[in-house]
């Protein structure tokens, strides 16, 4: 079965420092990987996705993620964190075939401290 | 990308009653996916709804509790039946979407059962 692991429930980082939110995936072959952010009392917002191509994917709000096939990882990164980045972040994957749903990781709560 | 209109956005319901959630998509889609997000947790897939056939439910979810209708390629409903406080969650629909985002999510229905 597919599974996406986000090993950290909570990540704390000081404003201005780089941030990393970790994700590992399980789909064999060519995974489709996504990052979403959810602010309090708001809907899911798409950040970025990897389907194929460059391993470094750039997304919204200055976020980027690096696809690493050997480590089956897709960590989310940002060079300089903002207090406004504080939110719940979800990694998700889908199989590379057809009309299938996303499977979500448990989520990581990011807290950026001023 | 597809646009989804999800209703209601929120509701407070008495235990033992039922609530039907609607999702209307602005284009024809083969599959629609229904998710539940319990407070502070990740999105869990409830079922996949294919037009013209019964929905496929994930482990832990049953049709009697979460009946789904899919009368055409642009519309689906999820009913939460015989509600208890444990059903208090956000319910979201989703479709595979052409374009940048890959998937489109409804804005969610925040259900509180009292």
Of all residues in chain B, the one with the smallest CA distance to A38 is B42
Per-position pLDDT tens, chain A of length 114: 668 999 999 999 999 999 999 999 987 777 899 999 999 878 889 999 998 889 999 999 999 999 999 999 999 999 999 999 999 999 999 865 678 899 999 999 999 999
Query: B73 — contact with chain A (CB < 8 Å)?
Result: no
Q: What is the DSSP letter of A3?
A: -
Cβ contact (<8 Å) for B96 and A99? Answer: yes
Longest dimension (CA), chain A: 44
Which among A80, A90, A112, A75 has a CA at the least distance from the CA of A43?
A90
> Mean pLDDT over all residues of chain B?
94
Query: B38 — contact with chain A (CB < 8 Å)?
Result: no
The residues facing A65 across adjacent strands are A57, A76
Phi, psi of B102 (to 5 degrees): 80, -45
* B45 has pLDDT over 80: yes
Compute CA B104 distance to the chain's CA centroid, rounded to the nearest angstrom.
13
Task: Closest CB to B31: pick one of A51, A99, A103.
Answer: A99
Nearest-Cα distance to chain B for A41, in Å, is 9
Nearest-Cα distance to chain A for B86, in Å, is 19
């Amino acid at each position: 079965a597919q599974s996406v692991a986000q090993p950290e429930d909570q990540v704390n980082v000081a404003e201005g420092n780089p941030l990393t939110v970790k994700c590992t995936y399980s789909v064999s072959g060519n995974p489709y990987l996504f990052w979403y952010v959810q602010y309090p009392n708001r809907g899911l917002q798409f950040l970025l996705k990897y389907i194929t191509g460059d391993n470094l994917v750039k997304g919204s709000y200055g976020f980027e993620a690096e696809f690493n096939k050997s480590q089956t990882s897709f960590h989310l990164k940002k060079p300089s964190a903002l207090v406004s980045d504080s939110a719940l972040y979800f990694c998700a994957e889908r199989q590379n075939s057809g009309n299938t749903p996303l499977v979500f990781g448990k989520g990581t709560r990011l807290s950026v401290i001023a | 990308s597809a646009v989804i209109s999800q209703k209601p956005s929120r509701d407070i319901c008495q235990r033992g009653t039922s609530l039907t959630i609607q999702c209307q998509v602005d284009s024809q889609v083969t599959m629609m996916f229904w998710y539940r997000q319990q407070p502070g947790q990740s999105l869990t897939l409830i079922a996949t709804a294919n037009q013209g056939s019964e929905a496929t439910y994930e482990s832990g979810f049953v049709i009697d509790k979460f009946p789904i209708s899919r009368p055409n390629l642009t519309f689906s409903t999820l009913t939460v039946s015989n509600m208890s406080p444990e059903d208090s969650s956000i319910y979201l629909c989703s479709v595979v979407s052409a374009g940048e985002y890959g998937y489109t999510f409804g804005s969610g229905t925040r259900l509180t059962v009292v």
